[in-house]
Amino acid sequence: VYTDIIQGKLDQRNQVLEVDFCIGRDIERKDISNVIKTLNEWCDGCESVLLGIEQQVLRANQHKENHNRTQQQVETEVLNIKKTLKATASSSSSAQEMDQQLVERECPHPEQRQPTKKISKVKGLVSSRH
């Protein structure tokens, strides 16, 4: 910790500080206020770090919510476009069927047509006079 008053390891799982070394009874009464001040500064630093982490968590959660909202909007738009395309394809095929029916009425299939007379070209006989 600050100014080597305490040296140790933080056990975050058990929320414990394992002290390896500390200035113990060797300090004089006049140094106690300095030790308290140093420990308070360390606590303030920890609070500051904790506050920063909490703010980052809030920003990350807000970013995640915005991302999820945007993702939902995109998925909704995709579904709407698919529905529109399906409806367009359906109406397009209906329009093609109607066009086909009109063509068939105007120009039936060859088997259904009335036979027509064929015009034939006949060459006439030319008489020769000599």
pLDDT for the residue 1: 53
pLDDT for the residue 5: 75
Give residue for tokens 């970013």. Answer: 63
What are the per-10-residue average pLDDT scores of the chain (130 residues)? 73 83 74 88 94 97 98 95 84 68 61 56 55
pLDDT for the residue 46: 93
Give residue for tokens 């995640």. Answer: 64
Please tell me the distance from the alpha carbon of residue 99 to that of residue 96, in angstroms, as a whole number: 5
Strands (E), 46-103: none
Question: Which backbone phi and psi does 122 adopt, to 5 degrees?
Answer: -115, 130
**Entry pTM:** 0.46
pLDDT for the residue 103: 62
pLDDT for the residue 57: 97
> What are the residue boundaries of the structural domains of the chain, listed by start?
6-89
